[in-house]
Structure 1
Amino acid sequence: MEQANLPVANWLPLTGEWSSSQTQLGYEQNVIKIQELIAQGYIYQVNLCRVLTNTSENSLLGLANQLAIDNPAPYASYLKLPGLEIASASPELFLSRSGDFIKSSPIKGTAKDENFGDKDESENIMIVDLMRNDFSRITTAGSVDVPRLLGIEKHPGLFHLVSDITGKLKANTEWPEILNALTPAGSVSGAPKSSALKTISDLEQKERGPYCGVIGWSEGEQAIMSVGIRIFWSHQDGQIHFGTGAGITWKSDAQSEWQETQLKSEKLISIAGGKR
């Protein structure tokens, strides 16, 4: 795979006001609804997201360049397709593959400093268990491992808890089987995954679009793919979008979860411009 530098383009900061698909009150009420479902035993964790929207006719290539300067990310990318443009500052590895060896590094737990609470740790461990189960569907018996659990990573403006899950693919496992077993990513859905997806569909008031999807490349038995978080996207219709969310558990405080969505968006929205 040949590497090339991103074409240079300038970004003109936005001046309009960002709107949110959920108000603070609405978001906090949805947190409480999720906790009611947890109490009923229907769900253990849900990643509850909202979408911010502003107006812009500008290409996101300039924003991708600005993000690379002001918010460098390990899985940053720029993608342009017919009717879709994405500028990503993703910090999260969805999947790397080298031959029959695969690895995922889910992020669960976000804070302004390195002091994470029990809620963050339990949230991360729940998703690790979910990902281990997903991996077991496509890997050889006994090969799934967690070489890193609750690692702390520093990213621009915040800290994350990150774990690594690895495994060895079963012989003749093809890409459709891999993606069918692992998508959507556990860190942006919840557990159990099927119940989490139903809850997300019921509570979130706007389609996520490419947000929380998978962005990356594959070539034969080699691949690097990121989780589509910390992304700006446009359908080239005069609007620009940004997604932000938080993992909701029984221990969640509704106001704190809203503040987490603010924290995750604060740095990147300041780079894009516009009023919050």
Structure 2
Amino acid sequence: MAWARFSSLDGGVIEASGVDAVTHDIDDVDSGFWAVVLTFEGDLTAVRMSSVTRGPGPTTSSSTWPGASGEWSASLGDTAYVEGVEEVRERIARGTVYQVNLCRILGSEIPEGLSVRDLGDVLARGNPAPYAATIEIPEAGLEIACASPEVYLVRRGRTVTSSPIKGTAVTADRLLPKDYAENVMIVDLVRNDLQHVCRPGTVRVDHLCRLEAHPGLVHLVSDVTGVLRDGMGWRELLDASFPPGSVSGTPKHTALQAIADLEPEARGPYCGAIGWIDADRDEALLAVGIRTFWVERDGAGRRMLRFGTGAAITWASDPQGELAETELKASRLLSLARGTARG
């Protein structure tokens, strides 16, 4: 049965079930409650859910997830990733780009019958996240367990907020000047994106480089808010701001070209947008699709569990340090998925 669980705007939980409609056109999202997945490449799947309940806090069941015990492959091995970082630094030296988020996709074969709903419960217990989502909607080809700490867009009426994360370390005292520079660059990009669709003078930075603690990590987070102009709807908002700046780079168009040149696999839901739109309430929460697992078939028909991890590359980047950051970001989540870390 189609089922999904999301974080709500007030810190509670939304659970939805049943399918009324499936669309790949954002203009169809004009009434009802929709589960929404937008891949990094821009492919939208939105599902209008039949039944929606809202609760005060997270609820999980006793999971039967046995763990993804197979070997994990990577779209970019360690050597290739380091070479990619060096290539980005060369492009920065040439002046074509300032920052690129370079990612790699991991994959492990899993048996038929394993449910991402169970994996979502494991993540909720072992790596609680403020913008978590679990989506199991076979009718739409969606199997996703997301433990995202990052807001792409929150919408309340005409007010929209984006909260990019840039800067990651094990502890706050290990954050580098580079981390703060990354964040400020992306905040400037997000401000520019929102200014295309928001009323003049309404785009503001509410918080800059505030510190957030998450399981095993600390992040620098900023909040950028604006008020949409009359006539600006979801299509215009997504056209102006997608993909999220924190997982692409700046300037966005040359960063996206670098990603296309250097990453051998499509990112899919990873680094896209995952969440919900309630068109009746004129509310929405779309998380950046990081710390996210999804299921898909590979070319041989095998059922694969995928996971993405990456790092922001600037001129100050140390290639080995950026490789280590991708491993740091993946470590706890992969341990939970393998069944070797619980709680």
Q: TM-score, normalised by structure 2?
A: 0.78
| Corresponding residue of 2:144 | 86
Deviations 1:5-57 (A, max 9, x none): 76734211122111111111110111010010001110000000001111112
Determine if the alignment matches structure 1 residue 113 to structure 2 residue 171: yes
After TM superposition, give the deviation of residue 98 of structure 1 in Å.
0.8
Deviations 1:114-139 (A, max 9, x none): 02111000000000000000010010
> Quick one: which of 120, 133, 146 aligns to 2:192?
133
Q: Distance in 1 between matches of 2:339 and 2:326?
A: 17
| Corresponding residue of 1:43 | 97
Q: Distance in 2 between matches of 1:6 and 1:202?
A: 42
Question: Quick one: which amino acid aligns to residue 121 of structure 1?
Answer: Y
Determine if the alignment matches structure 1 residue 96 to structure 2 residue 175: no
Q: Distance in 1 between matches of 2:176 and 2:104?
A: 24
Q: Is the 8 A contact 2:101 2:312 kept in 1?
A: yes
Q: Distance in 2 between matches of 1:134 and 1:71?
A: 31
Provide structure 2 residue ranges, at least 5 long, that are not aligned to the other structure.
Answer: 1-51
> Number of aligned pairs?
275
Q: What does 1:239-254 align with in structure 2 at a 5 Å threshold?
A: 239-254=304-319
Report 1 or 2 for greater relative contact order, CA contacts < 8 Å, sequence distance ≥ 6: 1
After TM superposition, give the deviation of residue 260 of structure 1 in Å.
0.2
After TM superposition, give the deviation of residue 172 of structure 1 in Å.
2.3
Q: Distance in 2 between matches of 1:6 and 1:38?
A: 46
Q: Is the 8 A contact 1:78 1:86 kept in 2?
A: yes
Q: Is the 8 A contact 1:77 1:87 kept in 2?
A: yes
| Corresponding residue of 2:330 | 265
Q: Is the 8 A contact 1:130 1:191 kept in 2?
A: yes
Q: Is the 8 A contact 1:10 1:66 kept in 2?
A: no
Q: Distance in 1 between matches of 2:233 and 2:149?
A: 26
Determine if the alignment matches structure 1 residue 70 to structure 2 residue 129: no
Q: Distance in 2 between matches of 1:63 and 1:259?
A: 25
Q: Is the 8 A contact 1:16 1:55 kept in 2?
A: yes
After TM superposition, give the deviation of residue 222 of structure 1 in Å.
1.0
Q: Distance in 1 between matches of 2:339 and 2:102?
A: 24
> Quick one: which of 169, 174, 177 aligns to 2:228?
169
Provide structure 1 residue ranges, at least 5 long, that are not aligned to the other structure.
Answer: none
| Corresponding residue of 1:231 | 292
Q: Which runs of 4+ in 1 moved over 4 A?
A: 4-7
Question: Quick one: which amino acid aligns to residue 166 of structure 2?
Answer: K
After TM superposition, give the deviation of residue 83 of structure 1 in Å.
2.8
Q: Is the 8 A contact 1:215 1:228 kept in 2?
A: yes
Q: TM-score, normalised by structure 1?
A: 0.96
After TM superposition, give the deviation of residue 182 of structure 1 in Å.
0.9
> Quick one: which of 84, 87, 99 aligns to 1:33?
87
Q: What does 1:54-65 align with in structure 2 at a 5 Å threshold?
A: 54-57=108-111, 58-65=114-121
> What is the SS of the residue equivalent to 1:257?
helix
Q: Distance in 1 between matches of 2:121 and 2:64?
A: 7
- Identical positions, percent: 48
After TM superposition, give the deviation of residue 79 of structure 1 in Å.
1.1
Q: Distance in 2 between matches of 1:175 and 1:207?
A: 24
- Is 34-43 or 265-274 further displaced after alignment? 265-274
State the Cα RMSD in Å.
Answer: 1.5
> What is the SS of the residue equivalent to 2:330?
helix
Q: Is the 8 A contact 2:66 2:339 kept in 1?
A: no
